[in-house]
Structure 1
Amino acid sequence: MLEQTLKTNIQKIETNIQKVCEKNSRDINDINLICVSKSVDDETTKQVVDQGIIHLAENRMEKLLEKKEFLKEEAHIKWHFIGNLQRRKVKTVINEIDYFHALDNVKLAAEIDKRAEKQIKCFVQVNVSGEESKQGVSPDSLSEFIDSLSVFENIAVVGLMTMAPYEASNEELHRIFSDLNRLKKAIEDKKLAYAPCKELSMGMSRDYEIAISEGATFVRVGSGFFDDDEKEVGTDEFI
């Protein structure tokens, strides 16, 4: 039953992504679908991988390490850490991941640089919406923050990340995601070796279609994979 639910939901998500790409003249190969597997157990996560998903994300260090060990034979998996990372835990997890999606302060960057045994692909988290409950660099201080990362050899700023408010309207979502794209392009245009900033990590189960229409290259989908009654969202409603 679970296997069929996963298969059906993945097909829906991939179909929706394809429709959005066609409508917005996007190359579907530029879109990376991340399964946020934090709500499911190891075996369920393995079933996701068995369906061909290669990007997995966790927001807790312990769960990521547990699942990586469980799936150690699946060497092709790309591991993403999407949660708040405490500096004292950096040394334990940083060399176990491929992408970190929540870089937002210099002290954390320094700790990552100190502990990393390889260059870590990082997304700088930007608080585009201005919500007090959201973490992230403010848009006004983003350029200065990017400049401050130039001294860290083990950090590569591959892009920007944001989280939209849960209650945001479609209009607000378009604005938030397009604003992040604009900020990304401004950094990208600087052609900084340590911050190529070509990627955008934005969009979750409820809004990934809008995010893709505004330039997302990585979308972080959780419940969309696992809900039995996942609604097939029509792209015309969202774009």
Structure 2
Amino acid sequence: MTDTDAAGIAQRLDQVRARIADAAARSGRPAEAVRLVLVTKTVEPERVRAAIRAGQAELGENKVQEGRRKAEALAGEPVRWSMIGHLQSNKVKDALRFADELQSLDRASLAEALDRRLQTLGRGLDVLVQVNSSGEASKYGLPPEDVAGFLRQLTAHTALRPRGFMTLARFTPDREEVRRCFRVLRAIRDRAMEEAPQGTALADLSMGMSGDYELAIEEGATIVRVGQAVFGPRPLPDSHYWPEAAA
């Protein structure tokens, strides 16, 4: 990696932070009310290290094996890792080797597998419940109508610490449809804070990525997941990196 590349990463990271601050101000909140999780998907460890040197401490990964390898390569750096992609129950052990947070809890079997492993390790885990706010069959996440019952089930898993919700908006140029997805999640969060057993602990809303994070913040996001706006576009489609996804 060149010094120019490292400088570009730092510059784009500053630009994203500035845009987060502006969007937060438009929603009547300070910049500190929004947590930036920098998505390192397909990004080489040395380029991630450049972002760390520029002050980024929150990192997110979509794939367990990639996250584990990257965390090992960056061992000793002052960072916190979030698992933000779909997690298979048989990958729980590997995910917990590096993840301090899971943003994609979407089913009872995964909650059970996580809790069982965490009890063995003697530790807890912050989790966000993933909700399918767009209603697309291609997306993971609970249907909105199933969230209340799922939150009640989670009380049986004492090693899990539910902190809020995550969603992916519909991928569309229709900004009002994107906003609608974010508003669906915000309404779920607001109701859960009043009615769910976890109450006000469910304050977090993880929504918004490189193409829509400013809209998400305007609609109440407390966490945004941004990668390509800092590291640049991936040179190849996801199917190149993960052939099983294309299959």
TM-score (norm 2): 0.88
| Cα displacement (A) at 1:95 | 4.4
Letter in 1 for 2:183: S
Q: Map Cα deviations across residues 15-57 of structure 1 (whole Å, 9 max, x no partner).
A: 1111112222112111111110012111111111111011101
Query: What secondary structure sits across from 1:151 in the alignment?
Result: coil
Distance 2:145 2:49 in 1: 41
Checking the alignment, whether the CA contact within 8 Å between 1:80 and 1:98 is kept in structure 2 is yes
1:174-221 deviation digits (Å, cap 9, x = unpaired): 111111011001111136348821100100000000000111111000
Conserved? CA contact 1:157–1:195, under 8 Å: no
- How far off is 1:105 after superposition? 0.5
Match of 1:232 in 2: none
Q: Equivalent residue for 1:209?
A: 214
Q: For each residue in 1:163-182, what CA deviation from the matched residue of structure 2 results, as whole angstroms up to 9, or x when unmatched? A: 01211511111111111011
Q: Which moved more, 1:159-168 or 1:102-111?
A: 159-168
Whether 1:151 and 2:145 are equivalent positions in the alignment is no
Is residue 33 of structure 1 aligned with residue 60 of structure 2?
no
Return the offset for 1:96: 2.3
Q: Which residue of structure 2 lines up, in the alignment, with residue 66 of structure 1?
A: 69
Secondary structure of 2:176's aligned partner: helix
Segments ≥4 residues shifted beyond 3 Å: none
Amino acid at match of 2:174: S
Unaligned 5+ segments in structure 1 are 229-239
Q: Distance in 2 between matches of 1:10 and 1:113?
A: 35
Other-structure match for 2:177 = 172
1:132 is aligned to 2:162: no
Consecutive unaligned residues in structure 2, runs of 5 or more: 234-247
Distance 2:222 2:41 in 1: 21
8 Å contact from structure 2 (residues 129, 165) kept in 1: yes
- Describe the SS at the equivalent of 2:181: helix
Q: Is the 8 A contact 2:37 2:225 kept in 1?
A: yes
Query: How many angstroms apart in 2 are the aligned matches of 1:180 and 1:52?
Result: 30
Counterpart contact for 2:89–2:113, Cα < 8 Å: yes
Q: Cα offset for 1:122?
A: 0.6
Of 116, 124, 134 in structure 2, the residue corresponding to residue 119 of structure 1 is 124
Give the secondary-structure state (helix, strand or coil) at the position aligned to 2:187. helix
Question: Which SS does the other structure have where 2:38 is aligned?
Answer: strand
1:139 is displaced (CA, Å) by 0.5
Alpha-carbon distance in structure 2 between the residues aligned to 1:223 and 1:43:
16
Q: 1:103 to 1:97 in 2, by over 3 A?
A: same
For the pair 1:110 / 2:85, whether they are aligned, the reply is no
**Which of 42, 48, 66 is 2:45 aligned to?**
42
Task: State the distance in 2 between where 1:193 and 1:182 align.
Answer: 16
Residue matched to 1:235 = none
* Alpha-carbon offset, residue 64 of structure 1: 1.1
Aligned positions, number:
227
2: distance between equivalents of 1:30 and 1:211? 13
Alpha carbons 1:150, 1:194 under 8 Å: kept: no
TM-score by length of 1: 0.91
Report how far residue 6 of structure 1 moved.
0.7
- Which residue of structure 2 lines up, in the alignment, with residue 87 of structure 1? 89
Counterpart CA distance in 2 for 1:150 and 1:37 is 32
Write the letter of the residue equivalent to 2:167: T
Say if 1:194 and 1:186 are closer, same or farther in 2 by CA, change over 3 A: closer
The Cα offsets for residues 62-96 of structure 1, whole Å up to 9 and x where unpaired, read as 1111111122111x311000111111111122242
In the alignment, residue 83 of structure 2 is paired with which amino acid?
F
Q: Secondary structure at the match of 1:57?
A: strand
For residues 5 and 126 of structure 2, what CA distance do their matches in structure 1 show? 33
Give the stretch that moved more between structures: 116-125 or 164-173. 164-173
